[in-house]
A = this chain, B = another copy of it.
Amino acid sequence: MATKTRERILDTSLALFNVRGEPNVTTNHIADELDISPGNLYYHFRNKDDIVEHLFARYELRIEEALVVPDARLPTLEDIWLRLHVAFECMWDYRFIYRDLVDITSRNRKLRLHFSRILKRATANAEAVLRGLGASGEMRASRAEIEATAHNVLLVTSFWMSYNAVLGGHIEREATDLTRGIYQVMMLLAPFLRDAERLHLHTLAANYVK
């Protein structure tokens, strides 16, 4: 069935992009892997960029869900850790986007606008959480520090996988890799916390990392 082939093309493309990197995969590779003719592939998608756009739309739905603020209550450090975990899992599943982020978003204006909107929304979220921790007295930070830290949270989150890949060269996932990324993000908050919360964060981290 046509719908089934379409979905299979998307799933296979995602798997190949994630393992080899999107710039290193052609529509011929994808057709080969699926054992279909290139003509059959072109019946479903105009070109590779068309496939990338469809995968991006899937990613966008999932990350938007991860960015929904659950309720008005101030998040605890455990809540923040958990929400980061959900975001990191989604990013891992679509890691090809992050691997070649500048190249992919500069080739396609629509993807760039969508990605930059997601980034801005996530930064605003991070800022709100930090402001909340400041208002409740759990941390001490100036307005400028909160703004800068929100950007650093998104920077470390978005590029952790790339940093890790360049350092260690893993292509396959190691169980601890994402946890270490979450840890690096949490460590951006640690020094702002009051002593009791700072200690609590380190205990939390010790339970998760290694």
Contact = CB atoms under 8 A, between A and B. Distances in A.
A12 interface: no
Contacts of A119: 166-167
B151 A155 contact: no
A23 B23 CA distance: 8
B160 A21 contact: no
A156 interface: yes
A145 interface: yes
Nearest to A116: B167
B202 A166 contact: no
A169 B109 CA distance: 9
Q: For A151, A155, A159, A165, which residue has the most chain B Cβ atoms within 10 angstroms?
A: A155
A116 B169 contact: yes
A202 B187 CA distance: 21
Number of copies: 2
Interface of A: 21, 23-24, 99-103, 105-107, 112, 115-116, 119-120, 141-142, 144-145, 148-149, 151-152, 154-156, 158-160, 162-163, 165-169, 171, 183-184, 187-188, 190-192, 202, 205
A106 B21 contact: yes
Given A100-B100, A154-B163, A191-B191, 13 more contacts: A99-B103, A102-B162, A105-B166, A116-B169, A142-B202, A144-B205, A148-B184, A149-B191, A155-B159, A155-B160, A156-B156, A159-B162, A159-B163
B145 A190 contact: yes
A175 to B, nearest CB: 19
Q: For A99, A106, A120, which residue has the most chain B Cβ atoms within 10 angstroms?
A: A106
